[in-house]
Amino acid sequence: MTETVEHLRDFNYYKLNSDIKNVLAEYIWIDGTGERMRSKTKVYKGPITQLSDLEWWTYDGSSTEQANTKWSEIYLKPVVYVKDPFRGSPHVLVLCETYLPDKKTPARYNFRFIANEIMEKAKDFKPWFGIEQEYFLLKRTGTTHIWPLGWPTGGFPYPQGRYYCSIGERNNFGRALAEAHLRACLNAGLKIAGINAEVAPSQWEFQIGIAEGIEIGDHLWLARYILERLGEEFGIDINYDPKPILGDWNGSGAHTNYSDIKTRGPGGYRYIVDTLIPILQSTHQEVLKLYGANNEQRLTGHHETSSYDTFSWGDGSRGGSIRVPVITKELGAGYLEDRRPAANIDPYLVSAVVVDVALLNSTYVNQLKQLLVDSAKQL
């Protein structure tokens, strides 16, 4: 890094020792923006060995844009827990769904419940996912102004071309954070497949997968949480906007790799080309509404993107809506890459609609879109 790292500090101000029998459970949820997370800590007296050991909990939804002050209690329902890479074992990170006081009605931007229903209906097809999460690293240049890490203050670096998978101080900005993130995710037990520096300077990517069904959304949200927490320690803001820097700079996507027993089986390549591609083309405009806010700023047909308005595909094409990897064609079976999703997607929505379109005859598309519209309404 070319800049001084600020606010670097030890997570464990007081080391937890073996004499302490309590377990710290960090409850994590998606807030009323649909893009950010919140968390708070619950102390348990005994070990956490199964999901049922974790209680439902509540929080003030009026402070997270999910409720008004007159009816502010929101319930947290634990759905997944993993090892806490910051506090260490036996402490845990707990991903939660959010519900209104009746414990039945999902709170704003809780899409996991419907995604899980869709995945359960399609489970015999064993849908596998890998999501390539791109993001920018931003630093403060004053009290409020933020700018990409390593860029001249208020100015621009050398043009793109030298930064993708780069090495060297003049090319690579933020490796320490990306590396810490990889190790923390592995420590937590997440299915993280790799990291790399991306095309724009101070832009990075991590890949989650191969994950089956609802697991892809769970692991991506937890990986985002860990990245944000590390960003606190490095004094770096994590940005998932589809086009954070206008001009001749790449935007950020969340390319979604998909396969099922049909695409992975004999004749899978022909099934992708002859059956799935036409289905994906016919639903193009419908699914784009679930593929991230302001995605039209990114999908311009330039900077390794397709057009927002026009569907396209190709073998090995990074300028199409769908890329069929050359290895899938060579082997006659495998997976496809949907390059349309923006970096700020909700992975539950995207994975759910892909499965719905590919396997369930688009049964849930309208319901998914309506849930997103309802969540975006003002309280």
Average pLDDT, the chain: 94
| Residue closest to 137 by CA, chosen among 257, 334, 248, 2 | 2
User: Would the pLDDT of 201 be above 90?
Assistant: yes
Q: What percent of the chain has pLDDT over 90?
A: 89
Give the pLDDT of residue 237.
95
* Average pLDDT rounded to a whole number, residues 208-230: 98
Question: pLDDT band at residue 362, thresholds of 50, 70 and 90?
Answer: very high
Give the pLDDT of residue 2.
41
Question: pLDDT band at residue 288, thresholds of 50, 70 and 90?
Answer: very high
pLDDT digits (tens, 9 = 90+) for 16-32: 666 778 999 999 999 99
Q: How far is CA 22 from CA 19, 43, 48, 60, 207, in A?
A: 9, 7, 10, 25, 33
User: Would the pLDDT of 320 be above 80?
Assistant: yes
User: Would the pLDDT of 6 be above 50?
Assistant: no
For residues 63-85, one letter each, b for 16 or more C-beta atoms within 10 angstroms of the residue's C-beta and e for the rest, the string is: ebebbeeeebebbbbbbbbbbbb
* Average pLDDT rounded to a whole number, residues 312-330: 96
| Residue closest to 249 by CA, chosen among 281, 203, 293, 204 | 203
Q: What is the CA radius of gyration of the chain?
A: 21
Token pair in block for residue 273: 């080309």
> Residue 120, Cβ neighbours under 10 Å: how many?
11
Whole-number Å distance between alpha carbons of 154 and 77: 44
DSSP classification of residue 190: -
Give the pLDDT of residue 140.
82
Q: What is the DSSP pairing of strand 57-60 with strand 128-140?
A: unpaired
Give the pLDDT of residue 17.
67
pLDDT digits (tens, 9 = 90+) for 129-173: 999 999 999 998 777 778 999 999 889 999 999 999 999 999 999
Give the pLDDT of residue 57.
98
Residue 148, class by beta-carbon neighbours within 10 Å (0-12 exposed, 13-18 middle, 19+ buried)? buried
Strand partners, 94: 27, 81
Q: What are the chain's domains?
A: 22-109 (3.10.20.70), 121-374 (3.30.590.10)
DSSP letters for 295-319: GGGT-BS-SS--BSSS--EEET-SS
Whole-number Å distance between alpha carbons of 201 and 172: 7
User: Would the pLDDT of 12 be above 90?
Assistant: no
pTM of the predicted model as reported, rounded to 2 decimal places: 0.95
* Average pLDDT rounded to a whole number, residues 329-340: 98
Strand ranges inside the chain, DSSP E: 23-30, 37-44, 57-60, 73-83, 92-99, 128-140, 146-148, 192-197, 203-212, 237-239, 254-259, 313-315, 322-324, 336-338
DSSP classification of residue 52: G
| Residue closest to 220 by CA, chosen among 287, 139, 129 | 129
Token pair in block for residue 271: 């099934």
Give the pLDDT of residue 145.
78
User: Would the pLDDT of 119 be above 70?
Assistant: yes
DSSP letters for 208-267: EEEEETTHHHHHHHHHHHHHHHHHHHHT-EEE--SSSS-SSS---BEEEEEE-HHHHSTT
User: Would the pLDDT of 9 be above 60?
Assistant: no
Give the pLDDT of residue 69.
82
Give the pLDDT of residue 70.
81
Q: What is the DSSP pairing of strand 322-324 with strand 313-315?
A: parallel
